[in-house]
Structure 1
Amino acid sequence: MIKGSIFMFISSFMALFPVANPVGAGFLVNGFLSGLDQKTRMSIIRRIVTDYLLVGLGSLAVGHFVLALFDLSLPIIQLGGGLLICRTALQWLGDSDASAGRVSKRNADPISLRAVESRIFYPITFPISIGPGSVSVILTMMASASIRGDWVRSLLNYAIIAVVIVLMCSILYLFLTQGQKIIRKIGDNGSIVINKMVAFFTFCVGIQIVVTGIAKIFHLTAL
């Protein structure tokens, strides 16, 4: 059982990390928070982390029920989620202000603070920090975690997936809290370049998820 649990943890981490991309998401989200003072920034970060856990652990808890309720399949979730990721990435690539996620560099004023607060859940938490791609991966991991006739092992696997989700959130939190130091060292131009690169790779991840969904829907092997 110990070997199985270790394998479940490693496979879940390797499956979720590239899609959730907490490091890249940390750079992107830091752009939104660049104009806030430290106290306000930490308050916003805590709300982002809370929403992240609600989406991630909520998907784990009720994901299959929601799919059954709306009669949705995993390939459809992958297709829709991939398209939404591509749309978000294109917005970041096409608009220099949006892609840098900038707010004024002066201390946060009521207007800029309201603008950031209105974006905490969408698009900062969802789909930038944790998107449909991550949700579809969580649902896929749930399918492999369920062991018929062994509810103890199934619950243990579900708990391991929950630990992986919390770990992704912790990595994101680390990069959000330390992001200003990193951005200060690489400068504004370096931050923009990194954000553009992350946006491009995010677009590629979205394309990959779309292709995977299409391949499963039409039972294609060439893709």
Structure 2
Amino acid sequence: MIFFKDLFIVVAALIPIINPMGQMPIFLSLTQDIPKEDRKILAKKIATYGFFLLIGSMLIGTYLLKFFGISLSAVQIGGGLLVSMTGWRLLETNEAQSTQFADPHQVIENPEALQAAYSRRAFYPLTFPLSVGPGSVSVAITLGANQKSEGNKEEIILIASLLALFIVSVIVYICYRFADRLVARIGEIGTLVILRMSAFILLCLGIQIIWNGASELIPHLFNKT
């Protein structure tokens, strides 16, 4: 029961924040000029990077923050800025502009350079902060801190948490892997509307994350004075 309880808690806590279904239009907008087969590679890379990023946040996130003297509020503010900047760029991007990946002709001439470009973009911004952002990192760190207080149940909870993170990553992969079907169903105009609205929501989400972090830090500033 402890195993399945923790499995459910981790999945239920991360899926609404990561929101892979809601991120599908953003993923499509940043990969619209990428061939379908290469988009599958990106989806796999994003799921893999997200899995290890969540594991690192859960297992050693608390220790890293303490070592560098960084609070969760500071993580939220910094990550919120990244999310807001990404949303703003998407709002400002014209449909005629090419994506930030390598030139399509480079696929044949220099496939190794293209794969390196995919790997870089798969982590930033597609994995962090779009897929696994400051909110999900904060939740993963909090879940990891709670595990350490469970005593002799820690090993069972750790295994359940790792399995839960794997399930979350698989869900992310499936959503991104078949994101192109969304375009086929709603058409070009519908996709454009969703992309712009998603970019605006992303911008607002980043501002909200910044505010959440600032609202935690501001009272401490007044208490010190």
TM-score (norm 1): 0.79
Name the structure 2 match of 1:165. 165
Change over 3 Å in CA distance of 1:9–1:96 after alignment to 2: farther
State the one-letter code of the partner of 1:119: R
- Alignment pair present for 1:110 and 2:106: yes
Name the structure 2 match of 1:130. 132
* 1:70 CA displacement: 0.9
- The percentage of aligned residue pairs carrying the same residue is 28
* 1:78 CA displacement: 1.6
Partner deviation per Cα, 1:29-56 (whole Å, 9 max, x = no partner): 1233333334333223222222222212
Change over 3 Å in CA distance of 1:38–1:214 after alignment to 2: closer
Name the structure 1 match of 2:148. 146
Change over 3 Å in CA distance of 1:30–1:75 after alignment to 2: same
CA distance in 2, matches of 1:215, 1:71: 19
Name the structure 1 match of 2:223. none
Question: How many residue pairs get matched?
Answer: 213
Name the structure 2 match of 1:203. 203
Change over 3 Å in CA distance of 1:208–1:141 after alignment to 2: farther
Name the structure 1 match of 2:123. 121
Name the structure 2 match of 1:176. 176
Q: CA RMSD in A?
A: 3.0
Q: Is the 8 A contact 2:73 2:216 kept in 1?
A: yes
Unaligned stretches of 5+ in structure 2?
221-225
TM-score (norm 2): 0.79
Partner deviation per Cα, 1:6-26 (whole Å, 9 max, x = no partner): 544444333322321111222
**Bigger shift: residues 191-200 or 211-220:** 211-220
CA distance in 2, matches of 1:101, 1:51: 25
Q: Is the 8 A contact 1:29 1:129 kept in 2?
A: no
CA distance in 1, matches of 2:123, 2:19: 17
* 1:143 CA displacement: 2.2
Change over 3 Å in CA distance of 1:75–1:159 after alignment to 2: farther
Query: Could you say what secondary structure the match of 2:209 adopts?
Result: helix
Name the structure 2 match of 1:34. 32
Q: Is the 8 A contact 1:26 1:179 kept in 2?
A: yes
